[in-house]
A = this chain, B = another copy of it.
Amino acid sequence: MLAKLELKLKCEKELTYQMSSLFHGALMELLPEKYADYLHISSLHPYAQHLECREGNWYWVITGLNKEAVKIIIQDTLWKLEYILIKKHDLKVLIVKKNYMETTYKELMDHFYEDDGKRYIQIHFLSPTAFKQNGRYLFYPDLRCVFQSLMNKYDSATAENTMHDEDTLEQICEHAQVIRYDLKSVSFSLEGVKIPSFIGKITIKLHGTDTMANFVNMLFEFGEYSGVGIKTSLGMGYMKIINEGGRK
């Protein structure tokens, strides 16, 4: 099960994208201690969260990537929340509106088997995104890193090692190509450290079989819930598929 909860926020001070990690802290304090500890120790990240500004309004968006996370984080903890306290800024943030979306892995998989996956996919990286490769930060959307990250997050959320397969990854990389981009580097501040990252858009063209195109489309659909790259639980790596009306 995959779910996304969007909370429209209202507060007296100005919010910023960089405050996502403070909201993560607030969320951890709200969770049952046992589950928070489990998340912390297991290094599993069956959730993601970030702050987002749309038309002058701020939203806190939290996703759950499996049944347990959706139940504990979204339904039990955030569902009835009326405000969040951001202690560091002595800030009380009111929740004035809620929006909830839910889908199943089966539904995602059905797309895989039934649909004609689009051959041109446009991805918008909305919050600072980065990858780690050989211990170094990568602050551009290397396709291998993008696909590998999504596969790993899928396996990590479902606790099945079905996605991440070197041969599949190799094949996707051979048949996917960035044909347009508009990207810029930004930095994401985290506990005084600045993580080099990027935001912006890319358009990917998929060659190869329909099955492969379907698979890549499905990975990105999943990515709209999981985010991509490092520190998605702290507000990085939020992505969306755009250009829905584009060429097939």
- A interface residues (Cβ-Cβ under 8 A, vs B): 140, 179-185, 196, 200
Contact = CB atoms under 8 A, between A and B. Distances in A.
8 contacts: A180-B185, A181-B184, A181-B185, A182-B183, A182-B184, A182-B185, A183-B184, A184-B200
A165 to B, nearest CB: 28
A140 B202 CA distance: 13
A112 to B, nearest CB: 29
Contacts of A140: 181
A200 B183 CA distance: 10
A152 to B, nearest CB: 26
Contacts of A179: 185, 196
Contacts of A183: 181-184
A180 B182 CA distance: 14
A140 B142 CA distance: 12
A197 to B, nearest CB: 11
Nearest to A201: B184
Nearest to A196: B179
Contacts of A200: 184
Contacts of A180: 185
Nearest to A140: B181
Nearest to A181: B185
A196 B182 CA distance: 13
A182 B184 CA distance: 4
Nearest to A182: B184
A182 B140 CA distance: 11
Give me the 6 closest cross-chain CB pairs, A-B, nearest first. A182-B184, A180-B185, A181-B185, A183-B183, A181-B184, A183-B184
Contacts of A185: 179-182
A205 B81 CA distance: 47
Nearest to A178: B185
Contacts of A196: 179
A181 B182 CA distance: 10
Nearest to A187: B180
Contacts of A182: 183-185
A154 to B, nearest CB: 28
Given A140-B181, A181-B184, A182-B185, 10 more contacts: A179-B185, A179-B196, A180-B185, A181-B183, A181-B185, A182-B183, A182-B184, A183-B183, A183-B184, A184-B200
